[in-house]
Each structure stands twice: as C-alpha cells, then as structure tokens.
Amino acid sequence: MKMLQNLAGEFRKLESYDFRVLHGVETGMRFFDWVPVDELPSYCRLTKEEVNYRVGRLLRFKLVRRRTTHYVGYKLTVAGLDALAIRTLVKREAIEAIGSEIGVGKESDVYDAKRDKGITVVVKFHREGTTFRHVKRARGYSAHAKRYSWNLAAKLAAAREYQALEKLYSVVAVPKPIAQDRHVVVMGLIEGKELSRINLTDPLEVLQKIIAQIKLAYSRKVIHGDLSEYNVLVCSDGQIAIIDWPQWVPLSHPNSNELLRRDVSNVLSYFARKYKITKRTEDIMSYIDQDNHEPPQ
C-alpha cells in the first residue's frame, strides 16, 4: 500500500521510455523468471545504452527487481505491474489520476481516482496470489504456473470481478463497471460504509434489502460466494450495495447451492448476533429460489 502511495507521487516522473522498458520486462516475464538484461533491447526496441539507463531508473523507483547470480536479470515488482496498469487505464481515459487509499481488504488495495469532469471512481488493485496463503495453495502447480502465480491469480480475479459487475449492474445494486486492465478494476464509487462498521436504526429493512439483492443476482444466475457484513455497503439514504465479486459462481456451478446457503447464513447470523433478528436460512433460501415476491416473515 505504501508502495502505491509512493507510486502516485513518482508516477509523474516516469517517461515514455521508462514505460517501454517496464513493458519489455513484462513481456520477458512470459518466458523467464528473471528476464536477462541482454534480451531487453529487442523486447523494447531500444538500444542497449538506453535500456541500461532506463532499468537504472526503474530500479530506483522500485518498479523492477534485479538479480545478478548466473546472469543479470530483472523482474517486475507489484508496484511495477501497478504502474503498467495505471498507465494503460489513463491512456484509455478510464481514469485521469490516482487519489488516496480508501480501503484495504483481505486481498486488495482500493483507491479513489479522478475521471474526466472530476468524477470520483474506485480503483481496485487485486492482490490475490501475493499472500503466503496463496503461495501454499499454488504448490501443486507446474513450474510455469508457479512463475506467474503472483500476478496470474490477481489478473484472473480482476477479470472475474469485472465480468460479474457487467452481468449484474443493470439489475443489482453493485458498483458500475468502468474498465479493467491486468489485475485492476475501475468501478463506480459507492458512497457508503461497510455494514460491519455501522449501527443501523432500521436493521430489518436493511436485511430485507440485502436479501432482495441476493435474489436479484440469483435471477441473473450469479451467486456472490463471499458475502458477509464486510461486503455490503450502506449509504446514508438507506440504499445498499453489494461489492467484492471476484469469487462469484454461476448457478450451474456444482457447489452453487452450498455457496448461496453460506452467503445467506453469513448475513443472517450477523443480524442475529448484532440485532437479534432471527430468520431461518432455509426460509430465505426458498424465497430466493422462488418467483415469489413476498419476503418471508
């Protein structure tokens, strides 16, 4: 997170040849764990001298790492990959500039950013695969997959999350999908607070709104899969939105029913614990699965 804050400041200092070399390192990482410095001139279409000068700068900005055992090689850091994604998103006019951190999740860093006309949007940097938990999980992978795992998992998660927002946005209260590149998703800002951090004056009404949104997503054959009081934002006008969709599954998924039950029961147990509202998971499940518009009592 620190990393990125620095980046926001340093970003303006980066020149187009810096990006060309950064991109060259990214290209090389398809073939090498550590990209040999000798390969860079051809990936970047720059002279050896220019490449040497540029990698020196990238090293100082901590956008690449260098290894000198066996041969001199470079690889991207997380900040380097962030820089490439930001650059692409700026070029595509999805954002104009990164702002400040608004949330740190389990597996992401979330920033606000300016879009044209001063509109504030959210930029979510996926970090799946960079934690120890995932390294462990990746142990069974081939050497090839292992080499990529730190950014491949994050890229897949970003693509998946963006896909869910696109499927749902017209019917379900989710952030508006704006753009996606590499491990980054740009989406609309929800001006609300996490359900876990507020005291509701009308908890029953909010619970009913959440259930209604789960049902709407279900009508689009989408199950969240990681629903909890941390992934529901409540706005001051009482509207809610459901965020954090990278692990969604389609209704056709063999575990979809189990995942839906877990989503529902996470939400119900939070309301039971905090607000003493008791509803049975099975009743809500059958309400969600029916074309019945009356919520159960």
- Contact call for residue 177 and ligand ADP (CB under 6 A): no
Tell me how far apart the alpha carbons of residues 27 and 24 are, in angstroms, rounded to a whole number: 5
Q: What's the min distance (Å) between Cβ of 82 and ligand ADP?
A: 15
Binding track over 231-250 against ligand ADP, x by CB under 6 A: x-----------xx------
For Mn ion, which is the closer residue by CB, 104 or 204?
Answer: 104
What residue type is assigned to position 52 of the chain? N
When CB distances are held under 5 to 8 angstroms depending on the partner's kind, the choice from ligand ADP, Mn ion, none that residue 211 binds is: none
Among 30, 92, 106, 273, binds ligand ADP (CB under 6 A): 106
For ligand ADP, which is the closer residue by CB, 24 or 188?
Answer: 188
Q: What's the min distance (Å) between Cβ of 258 and Mn ion?
A: 20
196-215: which residues touch ligand ADP (CB under 6 A)? Answer: none
DSSP per-residue codes, 177-198: EEEEETTEEEEEPP-EEEGGG-
Among 64, 84, 187, 214, binds ligand ADP (CB under 6 A): 187
Chain-centroid distance, C-alpha 256 = 22
Q: 203-210 contacts: CB < 8 A, separation 24 or more?
A: 203/271, 203/274, 203/275, 203/277, 204/275, 204/277, 205/238, 206/234, 206/238, 206/240, 207/267, 207/268, 207/271, 207/275, 207/277, 207/279, 208/295, 209/238, 209/239, 209/240, 210/240, 210/242, 210/267
For ligand ADP, which is the closer residue by CB, 190 or 214?
Answer: 190
Structure tokens at 211: 């259930």
- Contact call for residue 190 and ligand ADP (CB under 6 A): yes
CB atoms closer than 10 angstroms to residue 286 = 12
Element (H, E) at 65: strand 64-67
- Contact call for residue 244 and Mn ion (CB under 5 A): yes
Q: What's the min distance (Å) between Cβ of 259 and ligand ADP?
A: 16
Q: What's the min distance (Å) between Cβ of 45 and Mn ion?
A: 41
- Contact call for residue 295 and ligand ADP (CB under 6 A): no
Element (H, E) at 228: none
Residues at the interface with ligand ADP (CB under 6 A): 102-103, 105-108, 110, 122, 124, 175, 187, 189-190, 194, 230-231, 243-244
